[in-house]
Amino acid sequence: MQTMIGVIGGSGVYEIDGLQDAVWTKVETPWGTPSDEILVGKLDGVAMAFLPRHGRGHVHSPTSVPYRANIDALKRLGVTDVVSVSACGSLREEMAPGDFVIVDQFIDRSFAREKSFFGTGCVAHVALGKPTCPRLSAACADAARATGVTVHDSGTYLCMEGPQFSTLAESLLYKSWGCHVIGMTNMPEAKLAREAELCYASVAMVTDYDCWHPHHDEVDISAIIATLTGNAQHARNLVAGLPQRLGAERAPCPHGCDRALDHAIMTAPAKRDPELLAKLDAVAGRVLKG
Ligand SMILES: CSC[C@H]1O[C@H](OP(=O)(O)O)[C@H](O)[C@@H]1O
Ligand SMILES: Nc1ncnc2[nH]cnc12
């Protein structure tokens, strides 16, 4: 199988460098229109697709990002590995603005988003104990380190609904839960990637200390943008280092991300809703066609 890397660029990352034969491609999905067109091309001989999560010009709020359409569109294009690049606040002294955190766990406190491709007429329950792909995350950590930034190899990401930043009480609560970083977008994205049998890794770029830190001001969007501007080139350099680390030929995921639906669908074949099955053609075609 051929590798195709899908990069979802977060706040401050609306483009990537050096894609050959790159074309902004319009993709429609049964779940609606993705955040933007998707830039499809090749980097060092490996296929790549880039999607700005909020759209070029930052049109979508964390709540209005069409998460299902985005993941379906990447799957439909043939993406095998999704790398999310996000801005985040730090809940730990040692994770400083400018650092990169390779997220490996999530607490999902978002509440106003569609969180599954499945539902009435085709119920599925995928495993999410390890919500990110260790193979892809290791490649991201290695590529991030090569850019010269400080990299933390693991961390728990608290996903809040937003768009407002946290209150002090919330920030302290999330710290007490053992969370490392806070953002507004990685959920349900990571859940949907798992349902779509895509490997998913999350690179969180620390932009601020949220509001808990006694020696730092409250979160302020202009300070975040200043840090992001410094970070965005590191993020693009990280992406440029992925093809050589992943290679064009792809072995099956040793962690089973690409087989997540093998035992997940509960609804008896005779009871499945044909309309929902039609919408699941890209996401679950592998198991539904059989
Ligand atoms: C620019 S601060 C708030 C905004 O930035 C993050 O977005 P993304 O994860 O797409 O980089 C955060 O989650 C908020 O949506
Ligand atoms: N402190 C913060 N809280 C939530 N999302 C963020 N994105 C960047 N900084 C953030």
Any known ligand binding at 87?
yes
Q: Decide if 208 is catalytic.
A: yes
Give the ligand 1 atom nearest the CA of 53. 10
Q: Which range of residues forms the domain containing residue 53? A: 4-288
Residues 6+ apart with CB under 8 A from 254: 135
* Number of domains within the chain: 1
User: Tokens 């483009």 map to which residue?
Assistant: 15
Any ligand 1 atom below 6 A from CB of 235: no
pLDDT in tens, 193-222: 999 999 999 999 999 999 999 988 788 889
The CATH number covering residue 226 comes to: 3.40.50.1580
CA distance 29 to 19: 24
Any known ligand binding at 248?
no
Which ligand has the shortest distance to the CA of 10?
1
What pLDDT score does 149 carry?
97
Q: What is the DSSP string of 265-290?
A: B-S-GGG--HHHHHHTHHHHHHHH--
Say yes or no: ipTM exceeds 0.95: yes
What pLDDT score does 219 carry?
86
- 225-231 contacts: CB < 8 A, separation 24 or more? 225/12, 227/97, 227/98, 228/11, 228/12, 228/87, 229/12, 230/98, 231/12, 231/87, 231/98, 231/100, 231/149, 231/205, 231/207
Average pLDDT, the chain: 97
Question: 204 alpha carbon to ligand 2 midpoint, in Å?
Answer: 10
Ligand 2 pocket residues where CB is under 6 Å = 87-89, 160, 165, 182-184, 207-208, 210, 219, 224
pLDDT in tens, 26-80: 999 999 999 999 999 999 999 999 999 999 999 999 999 999 999 999 999 999 9
pLDDT in tens, 89-108: 999 999 999 999 999 999 99
pLDDT band at 290 (very low <50, low <70, confident <90, very high): low
User: What percent of the chain shows pLDDT beyond 90?
Assistant: 94
